[in-house]
Amino acid sequence: MPKPTLRRRPFSGFINAYAAPLLALAVITLLAPNVNAAQITISSADGQPLENAVVEIYYTSEASNPPQEESIFQRDAAFHPKVLTVPTGSHVAFPNQDTTRHHVYSFSPAKTFDLNLYLQETPPPVHFDQSGIVVLGCNIHDHMQAFIVVSDAPYSAKTGAEGVLTLPELPSGEHRVRVWHPLLDDSQQVWWEGVITDNDQLNVSLKLNALPPPAPTLSPLQQRFKDAT
């Protein structure tokens, strides 16, 4: 009498039965945020999240931030972006995407420059070789304003609409942190200062003392110039 044949479940099927949940768990683990990462949230005194707040963190690092090539363009008689942060030594270009001429300038101690009236012919990039806050204006449109924060810090970034920054991995211990916002003070040179550790969830509330920028208005001379161009 023939012996009964034992039907074995394929080994690959056994692996597949258990691999799928393990794979899903691995994906969830990879996608989950690092709960130990330091995070900083910037808000106004009334609890509103602050966009365009610049955060600098100082710590010992062998890697330095290399200079960058960036741009701030002009469109609809406004600078874009309104706030830019770059490492010291960076170059920034100022292309004009409007149909009217602009005259970009700055009188800030960190960088004084003057780009005379131009339309499509973008001037050479400006070299920002000193740290500090550079306030930009347009000699034709008084309401136009933007800011370049030139930073020596190992880490520098600006907040988005939610006012939140998840920071890169920091060395253990306490580190100096500075926060700047265009409306923090009329001088636009004042920083909030404090400390942060490698796993802090830091909330910073800023009292905004600066007056809001004026509404865009054109003088009769500016209007005639605009119509002529």
Provide the CATH topology of domain 35-62+154-223.
Answer: Immunoglobulin-like (2.60.40)
**Matching fold, domains 35-62+154-223 and 66-152:** yes
37 vs 48 pLDDT, higher one: 48
Q: What is the CATH number of domain 66-152?
A: 2.60.40.420
**Beta-ladder partners of 113:** 106
Write down the pLDDT at residue 224.
63
Per-residue confidence band for 221, with pLDDT thresholds at 50, 70 and 90: low
Smallest CA-to-CA distance from 160 within 54, 22, 3 is with 54
Write down the pLDDT at residue 204.
97
Per-residue confidence band for 210, with pLDDT thresholds at 50, 70 and 90: confident
Domain range list for the chain = 35-62+154-223, 66-152
Write down the pLDDT at residue 61.
81
**Distance (Å, rounded) from C-alpha 167 to C-alpha 141?**
37
DSSP 8-state secondary structure symbol assigned to residue 106: E
Q: What's the whole-model pTM score?
A: 0.78
Please compute the mean of the pLDDT values over residues 62-74 and round it to a whole number: 90
**Beta-ladder partners of 156:** 56
Please compute the mean of the pLDDT values over residues 194-210 and round it to a whole number: 95
pLDDT digits (tens, 9 = 90+) for 12-33: 454 455 444 444 434 433 444 4
Residue 185 has pLDDT above 90, yes or no: yes
155 vs 222 pLDDT, higher one: 155
Residue 163 exposed, middle or buried by CB count within 10 Å (0-12, 13-18, 19+):
buried
Write down the pLDDT at residue 125.
98
Residue 6 has pLDDT above 60, yes or no: no
Write down the pLDDT at residue 217.
64
